[in-house]
Structure 1
Amino acid sequence: MPMNRICLATLNRIFRIAAPVAALTIGAHAHAQSTVQLYGIVDAWAGYQRVPGNPGAAQLGGGGLSTSFWGFGGQEDLGGGYKAQFAIEGFFRPQNGRFGSFDGDPTFSRNAYVGVASPYGALSLGRQSSLLYLQSAKFNPFYASFTFSPTIVQLYSSLGTYPGFPTDQGIPGGTSWSNAIQYSTPDLGGLSGAAMYALGNEPGENGAKKFAAQAQFTRGALALGAVYQYLNFSSAPGDLGKLLKGFRSQTAAQLGASYDLRIVKLFGEYTYFANTLAGGNFHVNMLQGGVTIPVGIGRILASYAYSRDNSALDQARSTASISYDYPLSKRTDVYAGYLYDHVSNLSTGCTYGAGIRTRF
């Protein structure tokens, strides 16, 4: 019996000490909640592709409707409405297992940043998706497809592809900017904005920079966007001449809009970019219109883009695409698509195929 009393007394002391410690631990955990997630997309397609002016070939490719990527992201509640946040994301090619959307892409090519979000906006540092790329994807029915989106194909996947089309260098600098600082405003009644500045970050490259600003407005079925960007270096310091001889800088601006009528969603974009070269300057105007039409539980996507430059060559490009996307579940869908691509003075290109995409 005395031994029982001693044991009970000891247990009571332990509980008296442990209870406040546990309460403090639980309170601290509730105050500083943190989450980390693994997520991504795997997308592969099979079909045929012929770019303008080149022979065609059968293809087993990655990224029919979405470029495959994987990533980690998370946030920690710092209290007072402040949160620390990060994202580490990399593109990859499921057809061959290689990292990056192309050879030479960094391991974490999509995003690699850390920052703080607050009631007054968010500040982030690191490699981040460019504002022009994000808006270009938002206001076309194929979003960020490098295979079937006329907008993305004309702006981002044509760099150096067509030697016979020398004014078609598109938008240099890639879809993500390294060494970038970004500030994003909070949502103000449907109005929001962002600004980004990227440093050259190399000796002798202090003048090499990129900057962009973007604003968007969303109210019900309507969405509007405007973006401006300037750059005077490309993916790496000193490589502008590899894309277009004597290329020094580029200014680009875009207006975008979408409206959801339920029976059809309408998309539109106008893009202007002006290029400064050692031997003279030229600019390009591009228009894109598209629709998404629900059909059963699936949907039809269609888009057309037309661009023309004002150089002495006076070259034009027409790209049209149509696709059907059918969901198998909340995370997985299958699709089939066709893209027509005509460039001045080059043989017509086309892409067609079918694929599967899953999200995790």
Structure 2
Amino acid sequence: MKSQLQRRNRRWLRELGGFALAGSACALAGTAHAQSSVQLYGIVDMWAGVQKLPSQASAAVAAGNGMSTSFWGLGGKEDLGGGLQTVFAIEGFFRPNNGAVGSFDGDPMFSRNAYVGLQSSTYGALTFGRQSSPLYLQSTLFNPFYASFTFSPTVNHLYGGVGTYPAFKTDQGVFGGTAWANAIQFATPDFNGLTGKAIYAFGNTAGENGSRKWSAQMAYTHGAWSISGVYQYLNFSSTPGDLAHFIAGEKSQSVAEIATWYDFGFVKLYGEYTWTGNDRTADSFHVNSYQAGAAVPVGLGRVLASWGYSRNAGGLDLTRQTATIGYDYPLSKRTDLYANYMYDHLTNTSSGYTTGVGLRTRF
């Protein structure tokens, strides 16, 4: 009985990241016999501990979104016949510590996803609206801390690296955010483990290409092994409105990432390499980012560990190293407890750290 319980929980934990990032997919699946279905789903995540950002003083915190960004969503489908379905999802982030809408101030109500489309097991899916970027989804699925903006080295380096979050100056991150508005995306069906997708986001204003983005991804999964590659390109107008003011004179940014994991059973290993190229009016520079991680079953839970390193030659000429270790323990199929510690250091700053315990539940 105990071994069966351990296998069940380990299997659930391995699938946790995909569930957390693809709640809409679960909703769209519905029941096999239903002609149409609509579901309410989401995640609520709270943690408490101590946080010290590099070059700043430490502070005790009780905050949301420790291992996952809390969100709620409505998703559904309608069977049109012949294997064709209409699908939709509207999903919004929120901060459970204070009840605020969005993952940060200024985030729209349905900031996670807001799309409608058609899907077929034979021809794939075509969706229209605000949608999670392929680079973000790949980066989160191939590191043991998944989509954690609090504890994941990968997510912190890529999506907490430009702008005012966290509150220290760095130009190592990627633009465009985790979800793209005004987007059209095509996703292929699954060809024996091989899948692909392509997305394009419009600027929606004449003469303004600051929001024009495109990305393509291909992934292959076979048994215990998975590998995925993605390319993302953003082009800016002379007066862009998409975060370019944080890197003066930014003309375009290209990002290429390759990621893999292999599950040996007694340990699951993760690896990612990301190349970020910034083309500016006067010059250009690039950033090399690496992530190595592992998840080891211990008892009913898992020990998680991840290390991230980023280096750019040019721009602010920074090196950043981040390392996290933690333990995730399932209380049930939907609820888990976690305890993590993250070390963070940038060139010419005092080191930072984040440590805390949290509770996450899914509905």
Q: TM-score range by the shorter chain?
A: 0.7 to 0.9
1:207 CA drift (Å):
6.8
Residue 151, structure 1, aligned to residue 151, structure 2? no
Give 1:138 shift.
Answer: 0.7
Note the C-alpha offset of 1:285: 0.3
Q: How far does residue 72 in structure 1 lie from its aligned partner after superposition?
A: 0.2
1:79 and 2:81 aligned: yes
Looking at structure 2, the residues matched to 237 and 125 of structure 1 have their Cα atoms a distance apart, in angstroms, of 23
2:260 to 253, 257, 261: 257
CA–CA separation in structure 1 for the residues paired with 2:236 and 2:176? 7
Report the counterpart of residue 208 of structure 2 in structure 1. 205
Q: What SS does the aligned partner of 1:205 have?
A: coil
Q: Secondary structure at the match of 2:158?
A: helix
1:207-241: CA deviations, max 9, x gaps?
7410000000000000000000001259x952434
Aligned pairs (5 A) from 1:312-351: 313-351=316-354
2:104 alignment partner in structure 1: 102
Give the Cα separation in 1 of the matches to 2:301 and 2:33: 43
Q: Which runs of 4+ in 1 moved over 6 A?
A: none
Alignment of 1:146-225 (within 5 A): 146-161=149-164, 165-168=169-172, 170-206=173-209, 208-225=211-228
One-letter amino acid of the counterpart of residue 283, structure 2: G
Deviation at 1:50, TM superposition (A): 1.2
Q: Using the alignment, how far apart are the partners of 2:136 and 2:249 within structure 1? A: 24
Q: Give the TM-score of the pair, scaled to structure 1.
A: 0.88
Kindly state the Cα deviation for residue 164 of structure 1 after the two structures are TM-superposed: 6.6
CA drift of 1:331 comes to 0.6
Shift of 1:160: 2.3
Q: 92, 112, 115: which one pairs with 1:113?
A: 115
For residue 249 of structure 1, report the CA deviation from its aligned partner. 1.5
Distance 2:339 2:43 in 1: 18
Distance 2:127 2:168 in 1: 41
Which AA in structure 2 matches 1:294?
P
Secondary structure, counterpart of 1:259 in structure 2: strand
Alignment-mate amino acid for residue 283 of structure 1: H
Who is 1:291 aligned against?
Answer: 294
Name the CA shift for 1:58/1:233 in 2 (closer, same or farther; >3 Å): farther
Say what the alpha-carbon RMSD is for the aligned residues: 1.9
% identical aligned pairs: 60
Unaligned stretches of 5+ residues in structure 1: 1-29
Secondary structure, in 3 states, of the residue corresponding to 1:202? coil
- Cα distance between partner residues in 2 of 1:237 and 1:32: 46
Give the count of matched residue pairs.
Answer: 329
Q: Secondary structure at the match of 2:54?
A: coil
Distance 2:209 2:54 in 1: 38
With over 3 angstroms needed to count, the CA separation of the structure-2 counterparts of 1:85 and 1:164, relative to structure 1, is closer
Equivalent residue of 1:319, what SS?
Answer: strand
Distance in 2 of aligned mates of 1:289 and 1:350: 19
* SS of the residue 1:132 aligns to: helix
Instruction: Please tell me whether the aligned partners of residues 88 and 117 of structure 2 are also in contact (alpha carbons under 8 angstroms).
Output: yes
| Amino acid in the other structure paired with 1:95 | N
- The answer to whether structure 1 residue 51 and structure 2 residue 53 are counterparts is yes
SS at match of 1:279: coil
Offset, 1:53: 1.7
For 1:93 and 1:303, locate their aligned partners in 2 and report how far apart those are by CA, in whole Å. Answer: 25
Looking at structure 1, the residues matched to 49 and 211 of structure 2 have their Cα atoms a distance apart, in angstroms, of: 40
Number of the residue aligned with 1:18: none
Which residue of structure 2 aligns with residue 15 of structure 1?
Answer: none
Matched AA of 1:187: D
**Structure 1: how far apart are the matches of 2:359 and 2:296?**
20
The one-letter amino acid paired with 1:334 is L
